[in-house]
Structure 1
Amino acid sequence: MISPLPRRRLRPAPVLAAALALLCAAAPAVPAAADEALLPVPVPQVEGPLPGTPPGDPASDDIADTYPFFATTEDLDAFDYVEEEFVVSGTARVYADGAVASEHPYRTRIVVRRPERERDSAGTALVEWQNVTAGNDIDALWAPSAEHIMRSGYTWVGVSAQNVGVAHLAEWSPARYGDLDVTDGGTVTGDALSYDVFSQAGRAVRTGAVTGGIDIDQVLAIGASQSAGRMTAYYNQVLPLVEPVFEGYGFAVGPAPRGDRPEPVFQVLSETDAALTAAPPQDTPRFRLWEVAGTAHSGWAGHRARQGVEERDLGGQADYRCAEPPFSRAPLHHALNASYDHLAAWARTGTPPPAADRITRDAQGRIARGEDGHALGGIRLSQVEVPTALNTGSNRPAGPGNEFCVLFGSHVPYGEDRLAELYPTRAGYLAAVARVELRNVRDGYVTRADSARNRREAALSGVGG
């Protein structure tokens, strides 16, 4: 779900290699002894909300003249939402060999976007482990899904849990972030404190200290790509030792545990990620997997949604030379939006989400494709079933320094002759789109609001004359 940005602190190739390694591997579970009491998760100290809103000057020596890094450019007022930033601090544990090895102080930030009034709140918080593959914090799951999150009344919380992101914050605005530290002065490596940082942030949400007093009765953990890998390690290695904080877990475009705990696990993979797994796991009573044909690990919706904050806070978006036109436009976030609603209901009522067919693999485990080049099987959005372009989850670099192309998928629009052949009439095209949209809403793969948008876009496209 992420793309590299200008002024990044890390070289893209090593970061990408590490991220892809996390996509392919999940840490084994480390069960706690049956007679051992689970360790409590303390409530961290909370400071804030911090002053400052854009426009401002990150280089200012006065924190009131700065603003939160990647403060959203979404129209919060239209949904009666507010954005606030807090500092949370406390003591985090290092875990090793199924036990606590040491304890260390930490200090980091969280960003909260929530309804202004309690009456507009769904009572559910989505706590996102912010992704740092690009060398800085990215709201990977907020960016493309902001409208759905706000229209649903969710509280979204972004947690800066890893040192790459925190170090970049301190560089970006020393006055605002210079005293943040998740390494205990450099003595703790490998983001070993990140697990307790994340769970303690969840505890802060539960208390209402960072939600303006709005009552939150359900806290869900979500993470994308590399963050999903960190959350998998948290689920497998840390949760057997500590009291649970989150009622459910959403893993996007990355690895996920198999759901052998009471808390449900929902994994949503793009076609890019499905290609890395020849034999995807089966669903269980506590685990659900969706694979979405035609979509990319880091597609168009997220790239476009981050454009404003990247231009403001990083000087622009990076350009890439890929072998195929980059960024699949099949909207993976539509399936993700539906998954958040299903996960919330699953955790609250025990009703599991609908199952979905896996993307089809051939005898060698590779993704099987139809004559038009689209992947077969999986969840099939109208942009894939009634295509006006070839959208895939695959791509490759066209030269050195473009390694991230493998995450973008591809988008090749059909020419006018091809469109006329497929859709000789406007009514036929719109009817075909409507049939797919009705089916996906009925099956629970797309929300009604997202489906309505798809049908509006089809009506305005001019396809079919």
Structure 2
Amino acid sequence: MIKQIKEIPITNDSYPFASASRYLDLDAYGYVEKEYYIDGLANVYESIGNTGEVRVAYENVAYRNRIIVRAPKEVTKASGNVVIEIINPTSFMEIDRMWILTHEKFMRDGDIYVGITSKPNTIAKMVAFDKKRYESLQWPNPREDVELPFTNEQLLASGLLPDVNIEYEPGLFWDMLSNLAWMLRSDDVQNPIATYPHTYVYLTGWSKSACYVFRYVNSFAYRKEVAKDSQVFDGYLAGGGVRSMVVPVNQYESLYAYDYRLKRVEKVKQPFISIQTESENGWFDAFRTKRQDSDHPNFLYREYEIAGASHDTMFSYVDYYKQDEDLKRIDMLPKYDAKHAYGNNYPSQFAFAAGFKNLFRWVREGVGPASCMHIAMDEQGNNRKDAFGNSIGGLRTCLLDYPTGQYGIASTIEKGKSFLDATATTNPLFGYEQPFPASMLEVLYQDAKQYTALCKEHTKEQVSKGFICKEDEEALINFAVNLAIERGLPICKK
């Protein structure tokens, strides 16, 4: 239950953490960004068995969380699509990756974006960023006197981060999320988007937050107390899900032996699209938990695998933040620390834009998107490579079918550079690029004029299949051609 939603004033001296207005010209898009406190009551749940069924363990725990809302300035320009992102907490910093990947599509189409803090381990950095703005956030643990049944060392040994704390309870999030969705559907005067068209509400998340989406669908979306004889969300899009990870119902269950089926979606009556990059399409148990595309009423599902892209890219993890001085100040500025000269910058943002466009059409018109072949793998979950060293199959663009370089998905790093494993010498979440020599490009494509023709033909076909938005066709072609020229392909062969 939400008791109060209160706007947090934005001034020159106090503004949201990682505010999009610091990285993008929201005015140019006709968008506005606002932030709100949400005060309410939430239950904490516990598992019944290990396959996803839950029950209430503690009732009506008072909390304060925050949301960030980005919407058109003009109400009449809103599309009616409302996307809630479970903001990613894995690096102990709020990363709104689905916004980063898809903001161009959202803002050109008038979609409303709402990001919600998903785990209280990120509050410390928000407080360091602006104490007055965020020190009142609270997720109290109703059993703070009960010790956690594991140590940080045991968490690390299991491959999990030591991001739990007996002083708070992440398990409050499930009700926070459901109650927010119902509030955004309503015409309640407290609803921050009540004056906008807000008919369709979708849930999305990246990486660990994609696993939150899996868990929500499997354990909460169809509970009678949550669904209220209707549906909480109209559709779902999970991006980059690391499927070896099952999000626990509460932090005391962090080392619980959950069934493997909770690493994927088991049943979903609303359209669900999963988009994986090469970092997660086979690794992290993904090759053992794949689901087939389906139009069955109890399983409306598509899964796409973006060949060439790694989990993090220069665009989505480094360049977007524009060397933000505030993030530098609290030592949280994302950076590329690998030994390779070029970080992976495959333009997966175009595939995600098409993914959301297809999801919205599926929900609103009942038209399921086309299926796409998966990336070819060996029996260990490793992606098979073509003669150029790039993966075979998957969702492809002209950058792979007419390559100007090789795309690697695991970069070499120095020990201590990975926040996931201090002993690691590779980063499986951030890949690299190895450009082809200019002489090779000239043999393959002659010059930029010929290469442009190839990219146009290829992209036109991908647009016809719905894998690239028509609005992004020119931008993708320009991206590929400019990259080829940068790597030495002659503009015009004499």
| TM bucket normalised to smaller | 0.7 to 0.9
> Does the C-alpha gap of structure 1 residues 247 and 319 become closer, same or farther in structure 2, counting only changes over 3 Å?
closer
- Structure 2 counterpart of 1:51: 9
Query: Residue deviations 1:368-417, cap 9 Å, x none?
Result: 00111000000111221222221232334333323662211111122221
What corresponds to 2:383 in structure 1? 367
Greater relative contact order (Cα < 8 A, sep 6+): 1
Q: What secondary structure, in the 3-state scheme, does the structure 2 residue paired with 1:429 have?
A: helix
2:22 aligned with 1:93: no
* 2:74 alignment partner in structure 1: 117
The answer on 1:406 being equivalent to 2:423 is no
**Cα distance in structure 2, aligned partners of 1:114 and 1:318:** 26
How many angstroms does 1:320 deviate by? Answer: 4.5
| Equivalent residue number for residue 351 of structure 2 | 335
Q: CA deviation at 1:216?
A: 0.3
Displacement of 1:270 after TM fit? 0.2
**Of 292, 306, 313, which residue of structure 2 is paired with 1:292?**
306
Partner of 2:364: 348
**Which of 164, 175, 178 lines up with 2:135 in the alignment?**
178
Residue of structure 2 in register with 1:263 after alignment: 270
Which deviations, in whole Å up to 9, do the C-alpha atoms of 1:36-80 show, x marking residues without a partner?
A: xxxxxx4452111x2124x42xxxxxxxxx111111121111111
Matched, 1:455 2:413: no
Structure 1 vs Structure 2 CA RMSD: 2.2
1:199 pairs with 2:175: no
Which of residues 78, 81, 101 in structure 1 aligns to 2:28?
Answer: 78
Amino acid at match of 1:434: K
* Distance in 1 (alpha carbons) for counterparts of 2:142 and 2:136: 10
Deviation of 1:267 after TM superposition, in Å, equals 0.2
* Counterpart residue number, 1:13: none
Which deviates the most, 276-285 or 97-106? 276-285
Aligned match of 1:14? none
Cα distance between partner residues in 1 of 2:441 and 2:308:
18
Pick aligned residue for 1:168 from 110, 121, 125: 125
8 A Cα contact 2:318 2:336, kept in partner: no
The DSSP-based 3-state class of the residue aligned with 2:39 is strand
Q: Distance in 2 between matches of 1:407 and 1:186?
A: 36
Match of 1:221 in 2: 203
- Structure 1 309/80 Cα, relative in aligned 2: closer, same or farther at 3 Å? farther
Q: Secondary structure at the match of 2:44?
A: strand
The residue identity in structure 2 corresponding to 1:77 is: D
Aligned partner of 1:278 in structure 2 is: 287
Unaligned runs of 5+ in 2: 49-53, 145-165, 244-262, 421-426
Deviates more, 1:261-270 or 1:230-239: 230-239
Q: In structure 2, what is the Cα distance between the partners aligned to 1:314 and 1:185?
A: 35
Distance 1:214 1:246 in 2: 18
Q: From 247, 270, 278, give the equivalent of 2:234.
A: 247
TM-score w.r.t. the length of structure 1 is 0.83
- 2:144 is the alignment partner of 1:144: no
Deviations 1:104-129 (A, max 9, x none): 11111100000111221110011000
Q: Distance in 2 between matches of 1:186 and 1:210?
A: 33
AA matched with 1:226: K
Q: Which moved more, 1:397-406 or 1:210-219?
A: 397-406
Matched with 1:26 is none
Q: Secondary structure at the match of 2:62?
A: strand
Does the aligned pair in 2 maintain the 1:259–1:265 contact within 8 Å? Answer: no
Change beyond 3 A, Cα 1:400–1:288: same
Between 178-187 and 119-128, the greater mean CA deviation after superposition: 178-187
Deviation at 1:168, TM superposition (A): 2.7
Q: Which moved more, 1:201-210 or 1:395-404?
A: 395-404
Q: 1:99 Cα deviation (Å)? A: 1.3
Q: CA deviation at 1:326?
A: 5.4
Q: Helix, strand or coil: the match of 1:236?
A: helix
Residue deviations 1:316-337, cap 9 Å, x none?
A: 7354542544532211111111
Quote how far apart the aligned CAs of 1:427 are. 2.2
Q: Is the 8 A contact 1:391 1:411 kept in 2?
A: yes
Structure 1 stretch 288-297 or stretch 66-75: which is displaced more? 66-75
Change in CA separation of 1:196 and 1:443 when aligned onto 2, cut-off 3 Å: same
Determine the C-alpha separation between the residues in 2 that align with 1:336 and 1:323.
28
Structure-2 separation of matches of 1:172 and 1:88:
20
Measure, in 2, the Cα distance between the counterparts of 1:212 and 1:261. Answer: 28
Deviations 1:70-101 (A, max 9, x none): 11121111111100001111111111122111
* Structure 1 pair 140–148 and aligned structure 2 pair: CA distance change class (3 A): same
In structure 2, the residue matched to 1:427 is 449
CA distance 1:339–1:44, shift in 2 (3 Å): farther
Q: Post-superposition shift, 1:340?
A: 0.7
SS in 1 for 2:280: helix
Unaligned runs of at least 5 residues, structure 1: 1-41, 57-65
- Per-residue deviation at 1:185? 7.5
Q: Which amino acid aligns with 1:389?
A: G
The alignment partner of 1:193 has SS state of helix
Q: Which amino acid aligns with 1:246?
A: F
The answer (yes or no) to whether the contact 1:124–1:218 under 8 Å persists in 2 is yes
Across the two proteins, how many residue pairs are aligned to each other? 413
Q: Contact 1:249–1:264 at 8 Å: present in 2 too?
A: yes
Residues 459, 136 of structure 1: CA spacing in aligned structure 2 closer, same or farther, 3 A cutoff? Answer: closer
Q: Percent identical across equivalent pairs?
A: 25
Residue 307 (structure 1) aligns with: 321
